[in-house]
Structure formats: C-alpha cells, structure tokens
Amino acid sequence: MDGTIDELAAQLAITNVVCRLAICTDQGGLDDYLDAFVAEAELVLPIGTLQGRTELRELAESRRATGTGGPGSNSRHVVTTVSVAMAGPDEAEALSYFSYFEMTATAPVLVSIGTYRDLFRRTGGTWRIARRNVAIG
C-alpha cells in the first residue's frame, strides 16, 4: 500500500480499534472487548502469555471480579502516539504508548506507562488484533 485512500482508511480503522479497546477495558462489555481480537489472538504480558479469546476472557473476568478492571473500577487506560505501518492489504503493525491510571473518580494515580506492539489482521473487512505485546516502561 502506498498512501492511498484505502491505506489511510485502514490506518484510521486500526487506530480506532486500539482506542476502543482501551475504553472497553475500563468500561465496556466483555464481548466488545473480545471482539477487538481474532479468535486465536496472543496477548503477551509481563506476567505471561495468554492464547485465544477464552484465556483473554478469563483474565478480564478475574480483573472485573476483583474490582481491578472494568466498569466501576475507576481505572483508565490512556492510549497516545499510535503509529500504524501497513504490511499489506490485510496485515499491519501498530505501536502505541499507554498510561494506566487508578482511582480516577477521586485522586487519579499514574500506576504504569508502557507500549503496545500490535499485529493486526483484516478478516471479513474487519481489523482485529492477532498479537499484542505489552511492555512496561
């Protein structure tokens, strides 16, 4: 792709997925959260690697059950500086910075910062994350 309208539309769609995922992580439904990932997605975290939507759901449910994530947790994932590089018509990579805040309803506290390195695939006209690598720092 070479800067065409199609490429720019793809980059915008991918950026929207990155941003919507942050919102869903903090206040959205689990189905919307999981819809950002392909079925066999890999999530690489500092604490380990999750494989597939079932493991992603289990982690999200656990965080919501303990009040450390999801609606009512008063947390915010703030995503900035999203850079998208197209690798073809149906594959792209994105790099973005994040800041994670807790206690946002009272006195927000910055808990961590880091990067997301995402591999995207387009299937059926929809861009989804195939692999997300989360790095702190």
Closest listed residue to residue 131, CA positions, set 86, 79, 91, 98: 91
- pLDDT greater than 90 at residue 3: no
pLDDT in tens, 29-68: 999 999 999 999 999 999 999 999 999 999 999 999 998 8
- Domains of the chain in sequence order: 5-136 (3.10.450.50)
CB 37 within 8 A of CB 50: no
CB-count exposure of residue 36 (10 Å: 0-12, 13-18, 19+): buried
- pLDDT greater than 80 at residue 111: yes
CB-count exposure of residue 22 (10 Å: 0-12, 13-18, 19+): buried
Q: What tokens were used for 122?
A: 């387009």
Closest listed residue to residue 78, CA positions, set 116, 130, 38: 116
Integer angstrom CA distances of residue 78 from 37, 94, 123: 19, 16, 27
pTM confidence score: 0.93
Closest listed residue to residue 120, CA positions, set 77, 84, 78: 84
